[in-house]
Structure 1
């Protein structure tokens, strides 16, 4: 385990030090939530276009539940594992680029968990209509996740764990959403036939 942590720190220092002052504001922006609001509006439009309004309500409920679950679980891990963020680690002072900092603990990354949750969830609901969408979404999730290393707030293992948690949570909640939609559509069809 000690060797894995040392490798993680080495990888962090390598990736973090690839940055330069000229690009700091760009990566701060990439890491911000507000910049992606237009993308979320596009997601909403695609869902509205491909699912009935009643189904869209169920989808939005599952998205809200999934993101809340993902975010809260990350908070539990952060306090439970209590691994210092790179920017709070005194042994990395002077070795890393400290662009921005967050709370004291960083395992695992909420940004990675949430973006991979959304990428997985949206991919499973829309890939039949938009074959390239999953590739675009996962590239987006990777870029946002990398921004956290660039800024100095997460180690690569924080990102990897967050990505995996988001991926599995996205798959789980998307499966639930699709089952509810399928059941809803079947019950509507049965009602229409009986009438």
Structure 2
């Protein structure tokens, strides 16, 4: 386990040091929830075009429940595991570029989990109708997830684990949605 943690720290330092202050504002935007509101509006429009109103409301409720679960699980893990964020680790702070910081604990990334929830959920639910959508969503989730490493608020494994949890939950909720929608 120590070997894995050491490699995770090394990868964080390598990726974090690739940054430059000229790019910091860009990565701060990529991690901002508010910046993505127009993107979310487009996704909502695609859902609106894909489902009648009753089914649309059901899908939106499932998304809200799924992301809430994804987000709350991350919070439980953060305090349950108690792994300090890189920006709170005194040994690493001296070696890394610190752009911003968050709460004390960081395992696992809720940004990554929530983003990959949407990748999985929407790709399964409407990815066949909008064939490029899964690729756009994946690119977006990777941008958001990498921003967390770039900024120094998450280790790479925090992001990978968050992505896996989100992807799994999105798949579960999307398949549930498909089954229920097919019955209505």
Shorter-chain-normalised TM-score: which range? Answer: over 0.9
**Partner residue of 1:139?**
139
The structure that has the greater radius of gyration is 1
**Partner residue of 1:6?**
6
Deviations 1:24-45 (A, max 9, x none): 0110011000010001110111
Q: Return the offset for 1:88.
A: 0.1
**Partner residue of 2:151?**
151
Name segments (4+ residues, structure 1) moved above 2 Å.
Answer: none
**Partner residue of 2:126?**
126
Determine the C-alpha separation between the residues in 2 that align with 1:50 and 1:147.
31
**Partner residue of 1:167?**
167
Determine the C-alpha separation between the residues in 2 that align with 1:108 and 1:165.
9
Give the aligned CA root-mean-square deviation in angstroms. 0.6
Determine the C-alpha separation between the residues in 2 that align with 1:80 and 1:56.
36
Q: Return the offset for 1:148.
A: 0.3
Determine the C-alpha separation between the residues in 2 that align with 1:92 and 1:158.
16
**Partner residue of 2:20?**
20
What TM-score, normalized to structure 2? 0.99
Determine the C-alpha separation between the residues in 2 that align with 1:27 and 1:127.
27
Determine the C-alpha separation between the residues in 2 that align with 1:71 and 1:130.
27
Gaps of 5+ in 1: 185-195
Deviations 1:127-174 (A, max 9, x none): 111111111101110110000000000000000000000000000011
